[in-house]
Chains A and B, each alone.
Chain A
Amino acid sequence: MDHSDVNTLIRKSLTGELSDEEKVDLERLLKGDPALKEKYKAFCQLRHFSDRYRQYKKVNARRALKEFKKEHFPHLYPVWSVWTAAVSILVLIVSGFWFFRDHRMEIRNPQLPREALVAMNQAKHAGLNAATFLVKNRPPVSVTSDSLIAGIVSRYDSAGTIVTRHDKEFWMSLPDGTRVHLNYNSRLTYPMEFKGDSRQVELEGEAYFFVAKDKRHPFIVKTNMGDVKEYGTDFNVNTREENGSMSIVLVNGSISVTSKNGTPRILKPGEMAVIKTAESTPVITKVDVMPYVAWNTGRFVFDDCSLSRLMSVLSRWYDKKVVFNIGNAEKLSFTGILNRYESLDVTIRALRTITGLEINVDGGNIIIGQESRRKK
Protein backbone atom coordinates (compact mmCIF):
# COMPACT_ATOMS: atom_id res chain seq x y z
CA MET A 1 0.00 0.00 0.00
CA ASP A 2 1.30 3.39 -0.93
CA HIS A 3 1.20 5.42 2.23
CA SER A 4 1.37 8.82 0.71
CA ASP A 5 -2.01 8.11 -0.86
CA VAL A 6 -3.50 7.38 2.52
CA ASN A 7 -2.16 10.53 4.08
CA THR A 8 -3.29 12.70 1.18
CA LEU A 9 -6.79 11.30 1.30
CA ILE A 10 -6.96 11.88 5.04
CA ARG A 11 -5.70 15.39 4.72
CA LYS A 12 -8.21 16.17 2.01
CA SER A 13 -11.06 14.75 4.03
CA LEU A 14 -10.22 17.01 6.93
CA THR A 15 -10.08 20.09 4.73
CA GLY A 16 -13.25 19.15 2.85
CA GLU A 17 -11.42 18.75 -0.44
CA LEU A 18 -12.41 15.18 -1.19
CA SER A 19 -13.98 14.46 -4.55
CA ASP A 20 -16.85 11.98 -4.55
CA GLU A 21 -14.59 9.34 -5.97
CA GLU A 22 -11.99 9.99 -3.31
CA LYS A 23 -14.68 9.84 -0.62
CA VAL A 24 -15.52 6.32 -1.70
CA ASP A 25 -11.84 5.41 -1.76
CA LEU A 26 -11.30 6.68 1.75
CA GLU A 27 -14.36 4.95 3.15
CA ARG A 28 -13.24 1.71 1.60
CA LEU A 29 -9.78 2.11 3.04
CA LEU A 30 -11.07 2.87 6.52
CA LYS A 31 -13.56 0.02 6.41
CA GLY A 32 -10.96 -2.45 5.23
CA ASP A 33 -8.40 -1.38 7.77
CA PRO A 34 -9.87 -0.80 11.22
CA ALA A 35 -6.44 0.03 12.56
CA LEU A 36 -6.14 2.82 10.07
CA LYS A 37 -9.57 4.04 11.03
CA GLU A 38 -8.43 4.36 14.59
CA LYS A 39 -5.37 6.28 13.58
CA TYR A 40 -7.52 8.58 11.53
CA LYS A 41 -9.77 9.30 14.45
CA ALA A 42 -6.77 9.96 16.63
CA PHE A 43 -5.42 12.56 14.29
CA CYS A 44 -8.63 14.43 14.31
CA GLN A 45 -7.98 15.49 17.83
CA LEU A 46 -6.22 18.80 17.55
CA ARG A 47 -6.30 19.59 21.21
CA HIS A 48 -4.35 16.46 21.95
CA PHE A 49 -1.56 17.68 19.73
CA SER A 50 -0.88 20.87 21.58
CA ASP A 51 -1.08 19.17 24.97
CA ARG A 52 1.46 16.65 23.81
CA TYR A 53 3.78 19.37 22.62
CA ARG A 54 3.57 21.11 25.97
CA GLN A 55 4.48 17.90 27.76
CA TYR A 56 7.26 17.24 25.26
CA LYS A 57 8.71 20.67 25.86
CA LYS A 58 8.99 20.19 29.60
CA VAL A 59 11.59 17.45 29.28
CA ASN A 60 15.21 18.53 29.56
CA ALA A 61 17.23 16.33 27.21
CA ARG A 62 20.48 18.11 27.92
CA ARG A 63 20.26 17.38 31.60
CA ALA A 64 19.23 13.80 30.95
CA LEU A 65 22.33 13.35 28.80
CA LYS A 66 24.46 14.73 31.60
CA GLU A 67 22.90 12.35 34.11
CA PHE A 68 23.41 9.44 31.73
CA LYS A 69 27.10 10.25 31.40
CA LYS A 70 27.53 10.75 35.13
CA GLU A 71 25.95 7.42 35.88
CA HIS A 72 27.72 5.31 33.29
CA PHE A 73 31.00 7.14 32.66
CA PRO A 74 31.87 8.80 35.96
CA HIS A 75 35.57 8.88 35.07
CA LEU A 76 34.82 11.51 32.45
CA TYR A 77 33.93 14.05 35.05
CA PRO A 78 37.17 14.81 36.86
CA VAL A 79 38.77 15.53 33.50
CA TRP A 80 38.84 19.28 32.96
CA SER A 81 40.42 20.87 30.00
CA VAL A 82 42.51 23.97 30.66
CA TRP A 83 39.80 26.13 29.20
CA THR A 84 37.01 24.84 31.41
CA ALA A 85 39.24 25.03 34.48
CA ALA A 86 39.92 28.69 33.76
CA VAL A 87 36.25 29.40 33.27
CA SER A 88 35.20 27.68 36.47
CA ILE A 89 37.71 29.63 38.53
CA LEU A 90 36.40 32.85 37.11
CA VAL A 91 32.88 31.84 38.02
CA LEU A 92 34.06 31.02 41.53
CA ILE A 93 35.64 34.43 42.08
CA VAL A 94 32.70 36.28 40.71
CA SER A 95 29.89 34.40 42.39
CA GLY A 96 31.46 33.41 45.65
CA PHE A 97 28.87 32.00 48.00
CA TRP A 98 26.33 31.40 45.24
CA PHE A 99 28.74 29.09 43.48
CA PHE A 100 29.26 27.02 46.60
CA ARG A 101 25.55 26.53 47.12
CA ASP A 102 25.20 25.40 43.54
CA HIS A 103 28.05 22.99 43.92
CA ARG A 104 26.46 21.37 46.96
CA MET A 105 23.35 20.78 44.95
CA GLU A 106 25.47 18.86 42.46
CA ILE A 107 25.95 16.15 45.05
CA ARG A 108 24.40 13.24 43.32
CA ASN A 109 20.72 12.82 44.04
CA PRO A 110 19.94 9.14 44.43
CA GLN A 111 17.78 7.81 41.66
CA LEU A 112 14.93 5.90 43.24
CA PRO A 113 14.81 2.32 42.02
CA ARG A 114 11.94 1.62 39.65
CA GLU A 115 9.94 -0.37 42.23
CA ALA A 116 10.07 2.46 44.72
CA LEU A 117 8.95 5.01 42.16
CA VAL A 118 6.02 2.82 41.23
CA ALA A 119 5.04 2.39 44.88
CA MET A 120 5.33 6.11 45.47
CA ASN A 121 2.93 6.82 42.64
CA GLN A 122 0.53 4.18 43.85
CA ALA A 123 0.49 5.75 47.27
CA LYS A 124 -0.14 9.17 45.79
CA HIS A 125 -2.93 7.94 43.58
CA ALA A 126 -4.54 6.10 46.47
CA GLY A 127 -4.54 9.33 48.50
CA LEU A 128 -2.25 7.78 51.08
CA ASN A 129 0.65 10.22 50.71
CA ALA A 130 -0.06 12.78 53.41
CA ALA A 131 1.50 14.21 56.55
CA THR A 132 1.53 17.19 58.87
CA PHE A 133 4.39 19.62 58.66
CA LEU A 134 5.44 21.36 61.88
CA VAL A 135 7.73 24.30 62.20
CA LYS A 136 8.48 26.41 65.30
CA ASN A 137 5.99 29.09 66.29
CA ARG A 138 3.60 28.25 63.51
CA PRO A 139 0.41 26.21 63.33
CA PRO A 140 0.77 22.73 61.80
CA VAL A 141 0.04 22.41 58.09
CA SER A 142 -1.31 19.35 56.27
CA VAL A 143 0.65 18.45 53.18
CA THR A 144 -0.06 15.87 50.51
CA SER A 145 3.18 16.33 48.68
CA ASP A 146 6.79 17.13 49.35
CA SER A 147 6.72 20.03 46.92
CA LEU A 148 4.22 21.89 49.09
CA ILE A 149 6.70 22.24 51.93
CA ALA A 150 8.86 24.72 50.06
CA GLY A 151 5.93 27.08 50.01
CA ILE A 152 5.53 26.91 53.77
CA VAL A 153 9.06 27.44 55.08
CA SER A 154 10.61 30.84 55.42
CA ARG A 155 14.25 31.92 55.59
CA TYR A 156 14.10 31.99 59.37
CA ASP A 157 13.07 28.40 59.85
CA SER A 158 16.05 26.24 60.66
CA ALA A 159 14.29 22.91 61.07
CA GLY A 160 10.97 21.20 60.46
CA THR A 161 9.17 18.02 61.47
CA ILE A 162 7.04 15.74 59.34
CA VAL A 163 4.46 13.59 61.10
CA THR A 164 2.36 10.83 59.57
CA ARG A 165 -0.90 9.49 60.95
CA HIS A 166 -1.74 5.87 61.55
CA ASP A 167 -3.16 5.44 58.05
CA LYS A 168 -0.87 7.54 55.90
CA GLU A 169 2.71 7.55 54.62
CA PHE A 170 4.90 10.22 53.11
CA TRP A 171 7.60 10.46 50.45
CA MET A 172 9.96 13.38 50.63
CA SER A 173 13.39 14.78 49.82
CA LEU A 174 15.85 16.27 52.25
CA PRO A 175 17.98 19.35 51.43
CA ASP A 176 20.92 17.19 50.31
CA GLY A 177 18.79 15.17 47.92
CA THR A 178 18.33 12.17 50.21
CA ARG A 179 14.93 10.56 49.62
CA VAL A 180 12.94 9.39 52.61
CA HIS A 181 9.84 7.23 52.69
CA LEU A 182 8.11 7.67 56.03
CA ASN A 183 5.78 4.87 57.11
CA TYR A 184 2.62 5.44 59.15
CA ASN A 185 2.73 6.83 62.70
CA SER A 186 6.18 8.26 62.27
CA ARG A 187 8.00 11.50 62.88
CA LEU A 188 11.05 12.89 61.18
CA THR A 189 12.79 16.09 62.25
CA TYR A 190 15.31 17.57 59.86
CA PRO A 191 17.11 20.88 59.19
CA MET A 192 16.18 23.09 56.27
CA GLU A 193 19.85 23.15 55.30
CA PHE A 194 22.58 20.70 56.25
CA LYS A 195 25.50 22.54 57.83
CA GLY A 196 28.60 21.27 59.54
CA ASP A 197 30.47 17.99 59.37
CA SER A 198 27.52 15.63 59.23
CA ARG A 199 23.92 15.52 58.08
CA GLN A 200 21.63 14.73 61.02
CA VAL A 201 17.95 13.90 61.25
CA GLU A 202 15.80 12.55 64.09
CA LEU A 203 13.39 9.68 63.65
CA GLU A 204 10.59 8.16 65.67
CA GLY A 205 8.71 5.32 63.97
CA GLU A 206 9.73 3.76 60.67
CA ALA A 207 11.36 5.15 57.57
CA TYR A 208 13.29 3.99 54.54
CA PHE A 209 16.24 6.14 53.52
CA PHE A 210 17.86 6.47 50.08
CA VAL A 211 20.83 8.56 51.08
CA ALA A 212 22.59 10.93 48.70
CA LYS A 213 26.26 10.07 48.37
CA ASP A 214 28.57 12.40 50.25
CA LYS A 215 31.59 10.74 51.80
CA ARG A 216 32.69 13.91 53.53
CA HIS A 217 29.43 14.41 55.38
CA PRO A 218 28.08 11.23 56.96
CA PHE A 219 24.31 10.93 57.23
CA ILE A 220 23.17 10.23 60.79
CA VAL A 221 19.72 9.13 61.89
CA LYS A 222 19.26 9.82 65.59
CA THR A 223 16.61 7.90 67.56
CA ASN A 224 15.82 7.57 71.22
CA MET A 225 17.59 4.21 71.29
CA GLY A 226 20.66 4.92 69.25
CA ASP A 227 22.12 6.37 66.09
CA VAL A 228 22.56 5.02 62.58
CA LYS A 229 25.43 6.51 60.65
CA GLU A 230 26.06 5.94 57.01
CA TYR A 231 27.75 7.20 53.86
CA GLY A 232 25.53 6.83 50.81
CA THR A 233 23.25 3.86 50.80
CA ASP A 234 19.71 2.62 51.34
CA PHE A 235 18.42 1.17 54.52
CA ASN A 236 15.38 0.83 56.73
CA VAL A 237 15.05 2.02 60.32
CA ASN A 238 12.21 0.84 62.53
CA THR A 239 12.16 2.25 66.04
CA ARG A 240 9.03 0.52 67.18
CA GLU A 241 9.25 -3.21 66.67
CA GLU A 242 6.60 -5.24 68.49
CA ASN A 243 8.66 -5.93 71.59
CA GLY A 244 9.85 -2.33 71.97
CA SER A 245 13.20 -2.86 70.30
CA MET A 246 14.61 -1.02 67.33
CA SER A 247 15.69 -2.68 64.12
CA ILE A 248 17.83 -1.45 61.26
CA VAL A 249 18.04 -3.38 58.01
CA LEU A 250 20.66 -2.57 55.41
CA VAL A 251 19.89 -3.14 51.74
CA ASN A 252 22.86 -1.51 49.97
CA GLY A 253 26.02 0.26 51.05
CA SER A 254 27.59 0.52 54.47
CA ILE A 255 26.35 1.79 57.83
CA SER A 256 27.29 1.73 61.45
CA VAL A 257 24.80 1.40 64.28
CA THR A 258 25.53 2.84 67.71
CA SER A 259 23.20 2.32 70.66
CA LYS A 260 22.97 4.92 73.39
CA ASN A 261 25.54 3.05 75.49
CA GLY A 262 28.03 3.79 72.80
CA THR A 263 29.17 0.57 71.10
CA PRO A 264 29.16 1.00 67.32
CA ARG A 265 28.66 -2.05 65.10
CA ILE A 266 29.14 -2.06 61.33
CA LEU A 267 26.45 -3.54 59.09
CA LYS A 268 26.88 -5.14 55.72
CA PRO A 269 24.10 -5.42 53.13
CA GLY A 270 21.67 -8.19 54.01
CA GLU A 271 22.17 -7.75 57.73
CA MET A 272 19.89 -6.55 60.47
CA ALA A 273 20.88 -4.89 63.73
CA VAL A 274 18.48 -5.12 66.67
CA ILE A 275 18.78 -2.85 69.68
CA LYS A 276 16.69 -4.25 72.51
CA THR A 277 16.96 -1.31 74.87
CA ALA A 278 18.91 1.92 74.87
CA GLU A 279 21.56 0.26 77.02
CA SER A 280 22.16 -2.85 74.92
CA THR A 281 24.72 -3.46 72.24
CA PRO A 282 23.26 -3.93 68.78
CA VAL A 283 22.88 -7.60 67.86
CA ILE A 284 23.55 -8.36 64.21
CA THR A 285 22.06 -11.20 62.20
CA LYS A 286 21.88 -12.05 58.53
CA VAL A 287 18.36 -11.70 57.23
CA ASP A 288 16.36 -11.83 54.07
CA VAL A 289 15.73 -8.12 53.79
CA MET A 290 12.50 -8.45 51.81
CA PRO A 291 9.97 -8.75 54.63
CA TYR A 292 11.39 -5.71 56.40
CA VAL A 293 11.55 -3.40 53.45
CA ALA A 294 8.62 -4.64 51.38
CA TRP A 295 6.42 -1.85 52.75
CA ASN A 296 8.69 0.59 50.94
CA THR A 297 7.62 -0.82 47.58
CA GLY A 298 3.94 -1.14 48.35
CA ARG A 299 3.79 -4.72 49.58
CA PHE A 300 3.19 -6.73 52.71
CA VAL A 301 5.41 -9.78 52.76
CA PHE A 302 4.57 -12.65 55.08
CA ASP A 303 6.95 -15.53 55.57
CA ASP A 304 5.52 -18.42 57.56
CA CYS A 305 3.55 -15.96 59.60
CA SER A 306 0.70 -16.91 61.92
CA LEU A 307 -2.81 -15.83 61.04
CA SER A 308 -3.01 -13.70 64.15
CA ARG A 309 0.15 -11.81 63.24
CA LEU A 310 -1.11 -11.37 59.68
CA MET A 311 -4.41 -10.01 60.90
CA SER A 312 -2.74 -7.63 63.32
CA VAL A 313 -0.78 -6.08 60.44
CA LEU A 314 -3.93 -5.79 58.32
CA SER A 315 -6.00 -4.44 61.19
CA ARG A 316 -3.48 -1.66 61.76
CA TRP A 317 -3.26 -0.78 58.08
CA TYR A 318 -6.98 -0.81 57.33
CA ASP A 319 -7.90 0.57 60.73
CA LYS A 320 -10.29 -2.22 61.77
CA LYS A 321 -10.57 -4.41 64.87
CA VAL A 322 -10.18 -8.15 64.40
CA VAL A 323 -12.49 -10.61 66.11
CA PHE A 324 -11.41 -14.25 66.17
CA ASN A 325 -14.21 -16.79 66.49
CA ILE A 326 -11.94 -19.71 65.83
CA GLY A 327 -9.62 -21.52 68.15
CA ASN A 328 -6.31 -22.14 66.48
CA ALA A 329 -5.34 -18.88 64.81
CA GLU A 330 -1.75 -19.47 65.90
CA LYS A 331 -1.55 -22.81 64.08
CA LEU A 332 -2.40 -21.48 60.64
CA SER A 333 0.60 -20.05 58.88
CA PHE A 334 0.67 -17.81 55.89
CA THR A 335 3.40 -17.15 53.36
CA GLY A 336 2.85 -14.68 50.60
CA ILE A 337 2.75 -11.13 49.32
CA LEU A 338 -0.14 -8.73 49.53
CA ASN A 339 -0.51 -5.46 47.72
CA ARG A 340 -0.60 -2.70 50.31
CA TYR A 341 -2.77 -0.43 48.22
CA GLU A 342 -5.47 -2.94 47.47
CA SER A 343 -8.94 -2.29 48.87
CA LEU A 344 -9.91 -4.18 52.01
CA ASP A 345 -12.64 -6.09 50.15
CA VAL A 346 -10.27 -7.58 47.64
CA THR A 347 -7.74 -8.52 50.29
CA ILE A 348 -10.40 -10.18 52.44
CA ARG A 349 -11.73 -12.07 49.45
CA ALA A 350 -8.25 -13.37 48.70
CA LEU A 351 -7.76 -14.47 52.27
CA ARG A 352 -11.13 -16.19 52.34
CA THR A 353 -10.28 -18.18 49.25
CA ILE A 354 -6.86 -19.16 50.49
CA THR A 355 -7.74 -20.10 54.05
CA GLY A 356 -11.22 -21.48 53.43
CA LEU A 357 -12.34 -19.55 56.50
CA GLU A 358 -15.39 -17.35 56.86
CA ILE A 359 -13.98 -13.83 56.97
CA ASN A 360 -16.33 -10.88 56.89
CA VAL A 361 -16.17 -7.17 57.40
CA ASP A 362 -18.89 -5.75 59.60
CA GLY A 363 -18.59 -2.04 60.26
CA GLY A 364 -15.31 -1.44 62.05
CA ASN A 365 -14.60 -5.15 62.58
CA ILE A 366 -13.11 -8.01 60.64
CA ILE A 367 -14.75 -11.19 61.90
CA ILE A 368 -13.08 -14.51 61.42
CA GLY A 369 -15.64 -17.20 61.88
CA GLN A 370 -15.88 -20.98 61.78
CA GLU A 371 -14.09 -22.91 59.12
CA SER A 372 -16.50 -23.37 56.26
CA ARG A 373 -16.44 -24.88 52.81
CA ARG A 374 -19.59 -23.08 51.74
CA LYS A 375 -19.20 -20.37 49.13
CA LYS A 376 -20.53 -17.05 50.36
Chain B
Amino acid sequence: MSMKVNGLSLDTLHQWNDSSLTMLYACFFKALVNYSFQMTSDEEISKDIVQEVFWNLWKNKPSFKTIAQLKVYLYTGVRNGTLNQIRAIRAERTHVVRISDRMQEYQLAEDGSEEFFPEEVYRQLFLSIDELPARQREIFLMSMEGKKNGEIAKILDIAIDTVKTHKRRAIMALRDKLSLEVFSLLFVLVVFNE
Protein backbone atom coordinates (compact mmCIF):
# COMPACT_ATOMS: atom_id res chain seq x y z
CA MET B 1 0.00 0.00 0.00
CA SER B 2 2.94 2.40 0.16
CA MET B 3 3.95 4.45 -2.85
CA LYS B 4 7.66 4.88 -3.44
CA VAL B 5 8.93 8.31 -4.31
CA ASN B 6 12.36 9.90 -4.14
CA GLY B 7 11.68 12.62 -1.63
CA LEU B 8 10.06 16.01 -1.84
CA SER B 9 11.06 18.43 -4.54
CA LEU B 10 9.65 21.86 -5.21
CA ASP B 11 10.81 21.62 -8.80
CA THR B 12 8.68 18.56 -9.29
CA LEU B 13 5.74 20.22 -7.60
CA HIS B 14 5.91 23.34 -9.74
CA GLN B 15 5.57 21.29 -12.89
CA TRP B 16 1.98 20.65 -11.77
CA ASN B 17 1.82 17.42 -13.74
CA ASP B 18 1.26 13.76 -13.03
CA SER B 19 4.62 13.38 -11.25
CA SER B 20 3.78 16.31 -9.00
CA LEU B 21 0.51 14.70 -8.03
CA THR B 22 2.11 11.35 -7.38
CA MET B 23 4.74 12.95 -5.20
CA LEU B 24 2.17 14.86 -3.19
CA TYR B 25 0.11 11.77 -2.52
CA ALA B 26 3.06 9.54 -1.73
CA CYS B 27 4.63 12.02 0.68
CA PHE B 28 1.66 13.62 2.36
CA PHE B 29 -1.69 11.95 1.93
CA LYS B 30 -1.50 9.34 4.65
CA ALA B 31 0.13 11.66 7.19
CA LEU B 32 -2.44 14.41 6.61
CA VAL B 33 -5.33 11.96 6.97
CA ASN B 34 -3.71 10.76 10.18
CA TYR B 35 -3.45 14.35 11.44
CA SER B 36 -7.11 15.04 10.75
CA PHE B 37 -8.16 11.65 12.11
CA GLN B 38 -6.91 12.61 15.59
CA MET B 39 -9.87 14.97 15.73
CA THR B 40 -12.54 13.31 13.62
CA SER B 41 -11.94 9.64 14.50
CA ASP B 42 -13.38 8.91 11.09
CA GLU B 43 -11.16 7.84 8.25
CA GLU B 44 -13.68 8.59 5.49
CA ILE B 45 -14.34 12.14 6.65
CA SER B 46 -10.64 12.82 7.09
CA LYS B 47 -9.89 11.42 3.64
CA ASP B 48 -12.51 13.74 2.19
CA ILE B 49 -11.02 16.73 3.95
CA VAL B 50 -7.53 16.00 2.66
CA GLN B 51 -8.77 15.38 -0.89
CA GLU B 52 -10.36 18.80 -0.80
CA VAL B 53 -7.16 20.45 0.40
CA PHE B 54 -5.25 18.79 -2.44
CA TRP B 55 -7.85 20.00 -4.91
CA ASN B 56 -7.56 23.56 -3.63
CA LEU B 57 -3.82 23.33 -3.99
CA TRP B 58 -4.24 22.14 -7.54
CA LYS B 59 -6.77 24.83 -8.40
CA ASN B 60 -4.60 27.65 -7.06
CA LYS B 61 -1.17 26.29 -8.01
CA PRO B 62 0.64 28.65 -5.64
CA SER B 63 4.34 29.20 -6.01
CA PHE B 64 6.19 28.05 -2.90
CA LYS B 65 9.61 29.44 -2.09
CA THR B 66 10.49 26.69 0.35
CA ILE B 67 9.29 23.22 1.20
CA ALA B 68 8.44 24.55 4.64
CA GLN B 69 5.89 26.86 3.03
CA LEU B 70 4.30 23.93 1.22
CA LYS B 71 4.01 22.09 4.52
CA VAL B 72 2.37 25.08 6.18
CA TYR B 73 -0.15 25.24 3.35
CA LEU B 74 -1.04 21.59 3.64
CA TYR B 75 -1.16 21.27 7.40
CA THR B 76 -3.07 24.52 7.81
CA GLY B 77 -5.54 23.56 5.11
CA VAL B 78 -6.22 20.23 6.77
CA ARG B 79 -6.46 21.80 10.19
CA ASN B 80 -9.03 24.35 9.00
CA GLY B 81 -11.01 21.78 7.11
CA THR B 82 -11.08 19.49 10.12
CA LEU B 83 -12.10 22.18 12.58
CA ASN B 84 -14.91 23.27 10.27
CA GLN B 85 -16.07 19.70 10.15
CA ILE B 86 -16.04 19.39 13.93
CA ARG B 87 -17.96 22.63 14.20
CA ALA B 88 -20.63 21.20 11.95
CA ILE B 89 -20.99 18.31 14.32
CA ARG B 90 -20.99 20.25 17.55
CA ALA B 91 -22.81 23.55 17.52
CA GLU B 92 -21.81 24.79 20.95
CA ARG B 93 -19.36 27.65 20.71
CA THR B 94 -17.41 27.01 23.86
CA HIS B 95 -16.63 23.51 22.71
CA VAL B 96 -15.13 24.82 19.50
CA VAL B 97 -12.58 26.96 21.32
CA ARG B 98 -11.29 24.01 23.28
CA ILE B 99 -11.18 21.79 20.24
CA SER B 100 -9.08 24.14 18.18
CA ASP B 101 -6.54 24.19 21.00
CA ARG B 102 -6.27 20.44 20.75
CA MET B 103 -5.40 20.50 17.10
CA GLN B 104 -1.91 21.90 16.79
CA GLU B 105 -1.08 24.51 14.26
CA TYR B 106 1.97 24.35 12.04
CA GLN B 107 3.81 27.65 11.99
CA LEU B 108 7.19 28.77 10.75
CA ALA B 109 9.83 30.58 12.77
CA GLU B 110 10.60 34.19 11.92
CA ASP B 111 13.44 33.23 9.63
CA GLY B 112 11.14 30.88 7.74
CA SER B 113 12.65 27.72 9.15
CA GLU B 114 10.51 24.86 10.37
CA GLU B 115 9.52 24.72 14.01
CA PHE B 116 9.00 21.64 16.08
CA PHE B 117 5.73 20.08 14.95
CA PRO B 118 4.84 16.56 16.05
CA GLU B 119 2.72 15.78 13.01
CA GLU B 120 5.66 16.42 10.71
CA VAL B 121 7.80 14.19 12.89
CA TYR B 122 5.25 11.42 12.60
CA ARG B 123 4.99 11.93 8.86
CA GLN B 124 8.70 11.47 8.26
CA LEU B 125 8.91 8.62 10.72
CA PHE B 126 6.00 6.73 9.24
CA LEU B 127 7.21 7.16 5.67
CA SER B 128 10.55 5.72 6.68
CA ILE B 129 9.01 2.88 8.61
CA ASP B 130 6.93 2.03 5.54
CA GLU B 131 10.14 1.60 3.62
CA LEU B 132 11.71 -0.87 6.02
CA PRO B 133 11.89 -4.54 5.04
CA ALA B 134 8.87 -6.40 6.39
CA ARG B 135 10.55 -8.32 9.19
CA GLN B 136 12.42 -5.32 10.51
CA ARG B 137 9.28 -3.26 10.47
CA GLU B 138 7.31 -5.90 12.29
CA ILE B 139 9.86 -6.20 15.06
CA PHE B 140 10.34 -2.48 15.30
CA LEU B 141 6.61 -1.89 15.69
CA MET B 142 6.27 -4.57 18.30
CA SER B 143 8.97 -2.94 20.35
CA MET B 144 7.16 0.40 19.93
CA GLU B 145 4.12 -1.22 21.43
CA GLY B 146 6.16 -1.94 24.51
CA LYS B 147 7.03 -5.58 23.96
CA LYS B 148 10.37 -6.73 25.33
CA ASN B 149 12.85 -8.60 23.13
CA GLY B 150 12.04 -11.88 24.85
CA GLU B 151 8.33 -11.51 24.14
CA ILE B 152 8.93 -10.69 20.49
CA ALA B 153 11.19 -13.70 20.10
CA LYS B 154 8.49 -15.93 21.54
CA ILE B 155 5.70 -14.52 19.39
CA LEU B 156 7.67 -14.81 16.16
CA ASP B 157 9.36 -18.06 17.18
CA ILE B 158 12.88 -16.81 16.50
CA ALA B 159 16.01 -16.35 18.62
CA ILE B 160 16.39 -13.29 20.83
CA ASP B 161 19.63 -12.42 19.06
CA THR B 162 17.76 -12.36 15.77
CA VAL B 163 15.28 -9.93 17.26
CA LYS B 164 18.09 -7.67 18.42
CA THR B 165 19.73 -7.77 15.01
CA HIS B 166 16.58 -6.82 13.18
CA LYS B 167 15.90 -4.05 15.64
CA ARG B 168 19.37 -2.66 15.27
CA ARG B 169 19.11 -2.78 11.48
CA ALA B 170 15.77 -0.99 11.58
CA ILE B 171 17.26 1.80 13.69
CA MET B 172 20.25 2.16 11.38
CA ALA B 173 18.02 2.33 8.33
CA LEU B 174 15.82 4.94 9.93
CA ARG B 175 18.74 6.97 11.18
CA ASP B 176 20.02 7.35 7.64
CA LYS B 177 16.70 8.66 6.45
CA LEU B 178 15.62 10.97 9.21
CA SER B 179 16.83 14.38 10.23
CA LEU B 180 18.66 14.59 13.50
CA GLU B 181 15.66 15.98 15.35
CA VAL B 182 13.37 13.25 14.27
CA PHE B 183 15.90 10.58 14.88
CA SER B 184 16.64 11.73 18.42
CA LEU B 185 13.02 11.15 19.19
CA LEU B 186 13.13 7.72 17.65
CA PHE B 187 16.20 6.78 19.59
CA VAL B 188 14.40 7.68 22.75
CA LEU B 189 11.48 5.50 21.85
CA VAL B 190 13.64 2.48 21.11
CA VAL B 191 16.02 2.72 24.02
CA PHE B 192 13.20 3.35 26.40
CA ASN B 193 11.91 -0.06 25.50
CA GLU B 194 14.96 -2.07 26.39
Write the residues of chain A forming the contact surface with B, with a CB cutoff of 8 angstroms.
Answer: 3-4, 6-8, 10-11, 14-15, 36, 39, 42-43, 46-47, 49-50, 52-53, 55-62, 64-65, 67-69, 71-72, 111, 114-115, 117-118, 121-122, 339
Report B-chain residues with C-beta under 8 Å of the C-beta of A11.
184-185, 187-188
For B194, the closest partner residue in chain A by CB is A15
Report the minimal beta-carbon distance from A152 to chain B, rounded to whole angstroms: 23
The digit string for B116-133, where 1 denotes a CB below 8 A from any CB of A, is 101000100010011000
Q: Which residues in window 9-29 of B have CB below 8 A to A?
A: 21-22, 25-26, 29
Q: Please judge, given known A-B contacts A11-B184, A14-B192, A15-B191, whether A50 and B85 are in contact too, CB under 8 Å.
A: no
Distance A333 CA – B37 CA, assembled complex (angstroms): 42
Cβ contact within 8 Å between A7 and B29: no
Cβ contact within 8 Å between B129 and A53: yes
Please count the residue pairs between chain A and chain B whose beta carbons lie under 8 angstroms apart in the complex: 127
Report B-chain residues with C-beta under 8 Å of the C-beta of A111.
48
Cβ contact within 8 Å between B85 and A114: yes
Which of A7, A57, A72, A115 makes the CB contact (< 8 A) with B184? A7
Main secondary structure of the interface of A (DSSP, over half): helix
Report the minimal beta-carbon distance from B4 to chain A, rounded to whole angstroms: 11
Distance A142 CA – B48 CA, assembled complex (angstroms): 30
Report B-chain residues with C-beta under 8 Å of the C-beta of A36.
116
Report A-chain residues with C-beta under 8 Å of the C-beta of B58.
72
Report B-chain residues with C-beta under 8 Å of the C-beta of A339.
91
B30 at the interface (CB under 8 A from A): yes
For A1, the closest partner residue in chain B by CB is B109
Chain B residues touching A, range: 35 or more
The digit string for B83-94, where 1 denotes a CB below 8 A from any CB of A, is 001001101000
B180 at the interface (CB under 8 A from A): yes
Cβ contact within 8 Å between B48 and A114: yes
Distance A343 CA – B33 CA, assembled complex (angstroms): 31
Distance A55 CA – B144 CA, assembled complex (angstroms): 14
Q: Please judge, given known A-B contacts A39-B118, A64-B25, whether A117 and B44 are in contact too, CB under 8 Å.
A: yes
Q: Which residues in window 131-153 of B have CB below 8 A to A?
A: 141, 144-146
Q: List 25 A-B contacts (CB under 8 A).
A: A4-B180, A7-B185, A10-B184, A15-B192, A43-B118, A46-B145, A46-B146, A49-B189, A53-B141, A57-B1, A57-B30, A57-B130, A61-B26, A64-B47, A64-B51, A65-B22, A68-B55, A71-B51, A114-B45, A117-B42, A117-B44, A118-B89, A121-B42, A121-B89, A122-B89
Cβ contact within 8 Å between B116 and A59: no
Cβ contact within 8 Å between A61 and B25: yes
B29, B129, B130: most-surrounded residue (chain A CB, <10 A): B29
Distance A60 CA – B25 CA, assembled complex (angstroms): 10
For B47, the closest partner residue in chain A by CB is A64
Report B-chain residues with C-beta under 8 Å of the C-beta of A118.
45, 85, 88-89
Report the minimal beta-carbon distance from B33 to chain A, rounded to whole angstroms: 5
Distance A61 CA – B26 CA, assembled complex (angstroms): 7
A4, A6, A60, A67: most-surrounded residue (chain B CB, <10 A): A60
Cβ contact within 8 Å between A46 and B115: no
Report B-chain residues with C-beta under 8 Å of the C-beta of A39.
116, 118
For B123, the closest partner residue in chain A by CB is A56
Report B-chain residues with C-beta under 8 Å of the C-beta of A59.
1, 29-30, 33-34, 43, 47
Distance A49 CA – B184 CA, assembled complex (angstroms): 15
Report the minimal beta-carbon distance from A150 to chain B, rounded to whole angstroms: 18
Cβ contact within 8 Å between A46 and B192: yes
